Amino acid sequence: MVQHIADVTIDVTKPGSDTPAFAIPAEDIGTITLDETAQDAMDGGDVELENTDASYTGARRITPGDRLDIYVQLEDGQSLSHWLTAMARDVTDTLEGGTRQALGVELTDFVFSVLSFRTVDAAFEAEDAGAIVDGLVAGAAPELDRSQIQTLGVDTDIIAQGRTLLDVIVEDIAPIGDAVLGHDKTSLVVKPLQDVNSAMTLTPSDLHAPVEVTAVDDNIANRARVDGGVDHAVDSEQLTQSATARVTETDRIVEQIPVRKSEVARVAIHTEPDPNSSDAVVVRLQADRDGSPVDVDDRESDLARRTLADDFLADGALTEFRLPDHTLAPRENPHLIIEADGPDGHDIGTDGNATPTYRAEYPYPLIAEGTDGDSQAEYRRRDVRIRDEQLDTLQAVQDKTQSVIRHRAQPARRISGGAATPAAHQLSPGDAVDVAGFPELNINGRQYLVTERSTELSGTLLRTGLTLQDIRTI
């Protein structure tokens, strides 16, 4: 059904301001097309404006990054209501013949656009997934409102190094936290799936025929393996510290350390830096030759080496040295060499018998697997393998694995059709509905989430297409 509208207007707000710079009235708006989504994509569309009289130049010029708030008044007597907050992207002037000019503005959703512009470097351990989102947005995207970010009741580990904030939230946090993602004006909406309230009961009269109900097969996964990053465990250690020994560029501590693995990834040593020394401390690893290092005076003989400046040395505690990749010979215990790079040096903790206070760790891969036997019996076994090195704790890898099984073991059931009533036209991505009255389609009595809305507004006519998905497969 085509919905007639009474009015439409667009407020344009410049970056750094909360007050609209100018408004675009209905008579200047030719068409607006929008494709909106929830959960996993960024909305997009465009608006065509009449600009023959050069109304939109100078201070009224729309430029990339401007915020556009679109308001629509339906003909059924409702007041002008907010439809979408978008961001201007590409802006195109068109001379259409004679003196007629038009202005085309590409649109993307404001909230998700801001999230896609920002990269984050952060790590969280055993924190609520919603609180992680709140912390990331507060630090990287302060222009977004966070009042609709809820806690999710799921603690997890997240590490993000140079990834976009949008990817971290959409790909990692939302699936693990079973969250619905959406946007409301300048607010990011994050809420638990189980707490979503239905906006209406959707019946066949709310959708214009044909209505399609599809069981989507291509994303089923009922046997998952997730390969994460690398964690570390202790291979050998001597943690007694009752004395210290001074190391310089010529006075070293050399200790053969027992190991079981083929690599020493990290070594932590007790340091007590001299405030009057600017020397760095160097930790080296050399292979064994008849009970001694290969050549303690030759750094070219090192298997691995790491240097830390004095500013990075812990005072009276263990300082961690992360060693480059290397391979130890089988059943060979390497020699740990601790020295400074200058004549002044620093004090290193020992057990009083010249054995350094240290902890040596080996790396191991983080892997988790999960299955759903019922899904395999019904849909055949469907394998998926995911590699994500930024999952750097076992908890994070396990959370990711269970999230895959939980969300992909069943085919996604989707309802698609055109809105036929004012209430259906006003459904937005992220809204939930109760489904009833559809004959023989096995969808009645279930809650569905609006995942996509397409809008075409031309003159006084509004066309809206909706796609909804069974909330259990979101």
Whose tokens are 């001074």? That residue is 246
Radius of gyration of the chain (CA): 31
Position 85, amino acid: T
Q: What is the pLDDT of residue 37?
A: 85
Q: How high is the pLDDT of residue 321? A: 97
Angle at 449 between CA 447 and CA 454, to 5 degrees: 140
Query: What is the DSSP secondary structure assignment for residue 369, as one 8-state letter?
Result: E
pLDDT tens digits for 196-223?
Answer: 899 999 999 999 989 998 989 988 999 9
Q: Is 294 left (phi over 0), alpha (psi -120 to 50) or beta?
A: alpha
Over residues 12-52, the pLDDT tens digits come to 999 999 999 999 999 999 999 989 888 766 778 999 999 88
CA distance 165 to 156: 17
Tell me the C-alpha distance between 132 and 135, whole Å.
Answer: 5
By the 10 Å C-beta count (0-12 exposed, 13-18 middle, 19+ buried), 46 is classed as middle
Single-letter code of the amino acid located at 458 = S
Q: pLDDT tier at 1 (50, 70, 90 boundaries)?
A: low
Q: Are 149 and 108 in contact (CB under 8 A)?
A: no
The C-alpha atoms of residue 171 and residue 469 are separated, in whole angstroms, by 18
Statement: residue 77 has pLDDT above 70: no
Under 8 Å CB-to-CB from 384, ≥6 apart: which residues?
A: 221, 223, 224, 225, 404, 408
Neighbouring CB atoms inside 10 A of 16's CB total 7
Exposed/middle/buried for residue 349 (C-beta within 10 Å: 0-12, 13-18, 19+): buried
Q: What is the pLDDT of residue 79?
A: 79
CA distances from 328 to 262, 264, 285, 335 (A): 5, 8, 10, 11
* Each residue's pLDDT tens digit, 305-335: 999 999 999 999 999 999 999 999 988 899 9
Residues 21, 23, 28, 34, CA torsion sign:
positive
- Inter-residue contact 462 to 7 (CB < 8 Å): no
Residues 444-457 have a mean pLDDT of 91
What is the distance between the alpha carbons of residues 448 and 462, in angstroms, rounded to a whole number? 23
Query: What is the token pair recorded at 336?
Result: 């740990």
Q: Give pLDDT tens digits for 85-138.
A: 999 999 999 987 767 789 999 999 999 999 999 999 998 988 999 999 999 999
DSSP per-residue string spanning 47-112: EEEE-TT--SSGGG---TT-EEEEEEEETTSPPPEEEEEEEEEEEEEEEEETTEEEEEEEEEEHHH
Of the CA atoms within 13 Å of residue 340, those in its CB half-sphere come to: 24
Give me the count of residues in the chain. 474
Asked whether the bond before 15 is cis by omega within 30 degrees of 0, the reply is: no
Domains annotated on the chain, with CATH: 3-108 (2.40.10.10), 240-356 (2.60.120)
What burial letters (b/e) apply to 314-335, b meaning 16+ CB within 10 Å? Answer: eeeebbbbebeebebeeeebbb
Distance of CA 139 to the CA centre of its chain: 14
What are the φ and ψ backbone dihedral angles of 195, each rounded to 5 degrees?
A: -105, 10
Report pLDDT for 70. Answer: 94
Q: What's the mean pLDDT when you consider all of the chain? A: 92
Contact 421, 205 (CB under 8 A): yes
Q: How far apart are CA 236 and CA 232, in angstroms?
A: 12
pLDDT average, residue stretch 424-431: 90
Amino acid type, 84:
L
Q: Which two tokens stand for residue 443?
A: 């969808």
Give 107's contacts (C-beta < 8 A, 6+ positions apart).
34, 43, 44, 45, 46, 47, 68, 86, 87, 88, 89
Tokens encoding 46: 């465009």
Model confidence, pTM: 0.72
Query: Which residue reads 């970010």 in tokens?
Result: 149
CB 36 within 8 A of CB 84: yes
